[in-house]
Structure 1
Amino acid sequence: MPVALIWLIAALALAGAEALTGDLFLLMLSGGALAAAGSAWVLDWPIWADGLVFLLVSVLLLVGVRPALRRRMQSGQGLPEPARALEGKNALVLGRVARHEGQVKLEGEVWTARPLNENDVYEPGDQVLVVKIDGATAVVSKIA
């Protein structure tokens, strides 16, 4: 089996394994293996030289490309603006709000709710303040 084909198989295996991790580490190693496959096919160097190409390209990708990609992927995290806009609004308790239960009406929609302080309990009809939105749950506290 030609050396270039072995490097190509390694590159595909690393890229496939990256799909399981999502950390971009194995993808950078895959890029190094792809570069080694290219050098083995075009230049027909000894295998240690292909290994050196793999090492150099992988390190360059890990140091130069991966941090920028991770920043770009993580920059979109956080609440969408409509959900963030609900923080600080008043809500009406529809179903008893306790540690593991509760519903409030917020801006005309029914939301799952939990109290900010675990020991607090709010009864139906109480007015509460939305402190933050945690996923699809409104974290609420008593209006001061």
Structure 2
Amino acid sequence: MTITEWVQALVWIALVLVLGVVEVFTLDFIFIMLAAGAAGGLIAALIGAPWWLSAIIAAVLALVLLGLVRPRVLQALGRNADPHRTGVEGLVGMPGTVAVAFTSSAPGQVRLANGETWSARIDAAAPERAPALGTHVVVESIEGSTAVVRIQQKAAP
């Protein structure tokens, strides 16, 4: 190997390492595909291809990986995602009971099915009266630290 080929190989190795490190911090499977393309360029350079051919091989390989492999990897990783809503989004639709009665001027509190107690107010769009202690309610939305609830309708027999 000549000095030029060594320099070319070292440039490809450095590029693979830099792109690999960037991928570790971004975790979006773009830079790892680029690093794999650079690895293809490294292999071409080690076989003896001129620098321009190594660059074309690296670019084509990276584009193929980005277009064909990355979407499948993202899809495969998304299959095992938890389908349940979490956090505040998980509270919407959750049943609860009134723990502190509401008044027209002050919100009350509700104890939700998950055991949490939240400040609550009745949904303004609902033409319902203020719920009494022990009334069954359902969370409509969360506004800040207040649960907006509606009175749970009893199921018809």
TM-score range relative to shorter protein: 0.5 to 0.7
- The one-letter amino acid paired with 1:93 is V
- Looking at structure 2, the residues matched to 54 and 119 of structure 1 have their Cα atoms a distance apart, in angstroms, of 60
Match of 2:70 in 1: 66
| Among 103, 109, 116, the residue aligned to 1:110 | 116
Residues 74-107 of structure 1, C-alpha deviations (whole Å, 9 max, x = no match) = 2314317xxxx9875531234689xxx9864334
Checking the alignment, whether the CA contact within 8 Å between 1:111 and 1:138 is kept in structure 2 is no
Instruction: Give the letter aligned to residue 92 of structure 1.
Output: T
Provide structure 1 residue ranges, at least 5 long, that are not aligned to the other structure.
none
Identity of aligned residues (%): 26
Counterpart-to-counterpart distance in 1, 2:122 and 2:7: 63
The answer on 1:33 being equivalent to 2:38 is yes
* Aligned partner (choices 91, 96, 106) of residue 91 of structure 1: 96
What are the within-5 Å matches in structure 2 for residues 11-26 of structure 1? 11-26=16-31
Bigger Rg, which one: 2
**SS of the residue 1:45 aligns to:** coil
Partner in structure 2 of residue 44 of structure 1 = 48
Tell me the SS of whatever aligns to 2:28. coil
Letter in 1 for 2:115: E
Aligned-residue RMSD, C-alpha: 4.0
Structure richer in strand, relative to its length: 1
TM-score where L is the length of structure 1: 0.67
Structure 2: give runs of 5+ residues left out of the alignment: 1-5
Question: In terms of mean alpha carbon deviation, does 31-40 or 111-120 score higher?
Answer: 111-120
Q: Give me the TM-score of the superposition, normalised by structure 2.
A: 0.62
